[in-house]
Amino acid sequence: MPVTLPRPIYKPTQSLVPGICHTPPAGQAAWYPPVMAGADTLGAKVARAETILQALVLMQRLTPDAYTTYLKDFYSHGLEKFEAHWRYADIVTVLLCLSEALQPRNYLEVGVRRGRSAAAVAVKAPRCTMALFDMWQTNYAGMENPGAEFVKSELRSIGYQGQAAFIDGNSHETLPAFFAQNPDMMFDIITVDGDHSELGAAQDICDVLPRLAIGGALVFDDIAHPFHPELNGVWKTLVESDDRFSTFSYREAGYGVGFAIRKH
C-alpha cells in the first residue's frame, strides 16, 4: 500500500532562476511564464557520453572509496562499450548538467555522505552557497560515513569557493527548523537523497518542494533501486504526475534518478 502524503502547497514566489528564465525588458509584457527550458532540453544533455565522461573525471578527483572505485570502472566500461550511443544517468550526471545550465546561486541537499553529489554542483558552480543536511549514519550501506570536515575538504580540493553550511541531525527535525528560521529562503537546486524509507523520503520532498524557485530543479535519487522499490512510487505520486513540473526520469540502468523543473 503506497504512502499517500498530500502534495505540498506552494506559496506564490517571485524567486526565479536567472540561468533558465527569460525576463522581458522593463515596460514589455511577459506573455509566457518565465522558464525557457525544462526536462526535455536538460535531460537530453544529462544522458550523453560527454557528461558521463565529466562524471568519470570528477570521480577521479575525489578521495576514492569502494563505491567511487566501482563507479569509475562502470563509467569506463560503458563508455568503451557503447561510446557516444550510451544513454546513462545518475545523480552525478544530472547535477553536473543542471548546475552548468542553471548556475545555481544556492543549493540544498538532504543526504550528503562523502560529498559526491555536492561535488558535482561545486565543480560547475564553485561560488554557489550550500545548505547540506545529514545525520552521518555510521556504517551507511556498509561503508564509513566520515562527516562534515571530510566533505569540506573534498569540496575545497575540487576548487569550491562558496559558503557551505552543514546542518547535522535528522532531516525530519532539521529541515522544518531550518525553514522556520529562514522563512523566505528559496533554492535554485535541491537534492533529496537522505532517508530512503517510503514515508521518510516523501516527507523530505514535501518539506523542501515549496522552497524551490521558479525554474529551479529538484533531484531525487534511486528511483530504480532494487532495495528501495517504494521510492519510484514516491517520485511518481508527489512529483512526476504534478503538472507544476516538467520531469526527467531515468530507470534504465544503475539505481535510477529523477529531476523536476518548477514551471510556475
Ligand X SMILES: C[S@@+](CC[C@H](N)C(=O)[O-])C[C@H]1O[C@@H](n2cnc3c(N)ncnc32)[C@H](O)[C@@H]1O
Residue 214 pairs in a beta bridge with: 16
Q: Is 135 left (phi over 0), alpha (psi -120 to 50) or beta?
A: alpha
In the bound state with ligand X, the residue whose beta carbon lies nearer, of 16 and 119, is 119
Using the contact rule CB under 6 A, the part of the chain among 18-26, 105-113, 211-219, 224-232 near ligand X is 105-113
Asked whether position 135 contacts ligand X by CB under 6 A, the answer is yes
Return d(Cα 193, Cα 108) in angstroms, integer.
11
In the bound state with ligand X, the residue whose beta carbon lies nearer, of 140 and 179, is 140
| Interface pick for ligand X out of 48, 113, 124, 262 (rule CB under 6 A) | 113
In the bound state with ligand X, the residue whose beta carbon lies nearer, of 191 and 249, is 191
| Interface pick for ligand X out of 48, 72, 116, 262 (rule CB under 6 A) | 116
In the bound state with ligand X, the residue whose beta carbon lies nearer, of 174 and 246, is 174
Asked whether position 78 contacts ligand X by CB under 6 A, the answer is no
| Interface pick for ligand X out of 137, 153, 161, 163 (rule CB under 6 A) | 137
Q: For residue 12, give the nearest of 244, 202, 255 by alpha carbon.
A: 244
Using the contact rule CB under 6 A, the part of the chain among 23-31, 130-138, 157-165, 254-262 near ligand X is 130-138
Asked whether position 170 contacts ligand X by CB under 6 A, the answer is yes
Asked whether position 91 contacts ligand X by CB under 6 A, the answer is yes
| Interface pick for ligand X out of 100, 154, 193, 198 (rule CB under 6 A) | 193
Q: Is 139 exposed, middle or buried (0-12, 13-18, 19+ CB in 10 A)?
A: exposed
> C-alpha grid cell for residue 198?
517510503
Asked whether position 220 contacts ligand X by CB under 6 A, the answer is no
In the bound state with ligand X, the residue whose beta carbon lies nearer, of 47 and 94, is 94
State the residues that interact with ligand X by CB under 6 A.
91, 111-114, 116-117, 133-137, 140, 145, 170-172, 193-195, 200
